[in-house]
């Protein structure tokens, strides 16, 4: 009995860890937020996905695109997106040949249904936390600026103030466009992301695409 006790303790710990992980996945929602800022000729966009204390952040500003791994609000690793997307030199010549392209396209078209179904499933379980925005708008023409500002004032009472908050400052004497918008959404059951991803990956068309891409152009028979 004494010899088997460590093994029993180890198995019990693994089972408890798996159960706690599953409970956390079911209870803690997955959140993703969008942020868009424009200042004259400079535009910056930020996309953040997070669950629990873990997150992934993508920054797009002109030609500067970066991806960061975030834990507990601190950026641990930041890499240029180009370095992650660029293929390795030794595989530079690999890729689908001309004879493989029609098969890949037809398989991707068959995936439209499963992808749309998965997307709608996630939309049904997605909730809006907030949308916040601020704008400073001047069109150079006081009349046109006044029309835009009047439209803004007419739309504000129609929006739910507890979740959507947007302010606008009109500039009648100059031409300016400065906009800051941020929004956050949450998927109430984040386990659905994994479930739908597995469904799409196991679809015969998805498998066919991956199998075709792995083939070398010379392996395709006429």
In the chain, what are the domain boundaries? 30-86
Taking the C-alpha atoms of residue 179 and residue 10, their distance in angstroms, rounded to an integer, is 55
pLDDT tens string, the chain, 222 residues long: the values are 456 667 677 777 787 877 776 666 666 777 878 787 777 667 778 888 887 777 888 887 766 678 888 877 777 788 887 766 555 555 444 555 556 667 677 777 777 888 888 888 888 888 888 888 899 998 888 999 999 999 999 998 888 888 889 899 999 988 888 888 888 888 877 777 778 888 888 888 788 777 776 665 555 444
Closest by CA to 129, choosing from 167, 181, 179, 164, is 164
* CA neighbours closer than 13 Å in the CB half-sphere of residue 50: 19
Within 13 A of 163's CA, how many CA atoms are on the CB side? 10
Separation of alpha carbons 102 and 109, rounded Å: 11
Which residues does 63 contact at the CB level (< 8 Å), separation at least 6? none
| pTM (predicted TM-score) | 0.59
* Structure token digits, residue 170: 């009109």
């Amino acid at each position: 009995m004494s010899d088997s006790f460590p093994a029993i303790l180890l198995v019990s710990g693994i089972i408890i860890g798996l159960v706690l992980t599953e409970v956390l996945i079911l209870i803690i929602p997955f959140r993703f937020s969008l942020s868009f800022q424009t200042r004259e000729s400079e535009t910056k966009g930020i996309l953040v996905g997070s669950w629990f204390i873990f997150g992934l952040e993508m920054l797009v500003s002109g030609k500067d695109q970066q991806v960061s791994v975030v834990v507990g609000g601190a950026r641990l690793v930041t890499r240029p997106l180009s370095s992650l997307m660029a293929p390795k030199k030794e595989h530079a010549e690999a890729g689908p040949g001309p004879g493989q392209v029609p098969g890949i396209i037809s398989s991707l078209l068959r995936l439209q249904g499963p992808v749309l179904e998965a997307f709608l499933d996630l939309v049904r379980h997605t909730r809006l936390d907030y949308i916040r925005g601020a704008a400073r708008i001047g069109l150079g023409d006081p009349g046109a600026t006044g029309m835009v500002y009047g439209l803004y004032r007419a739309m504000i009472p129609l929006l739910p103030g507890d979740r959507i908050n947007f302010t606008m400052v009109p500039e009648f004497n100059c031409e300016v466009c400065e906009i800051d918008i941020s929004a956050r959404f949450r998927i109430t059951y984040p386990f659905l992301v994994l479930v739908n991803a597995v469904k799409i990956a196991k679809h015969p068309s998805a498998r066919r695409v991956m199998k075709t891409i792995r083939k070398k152009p010379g392996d395709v028979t006429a």
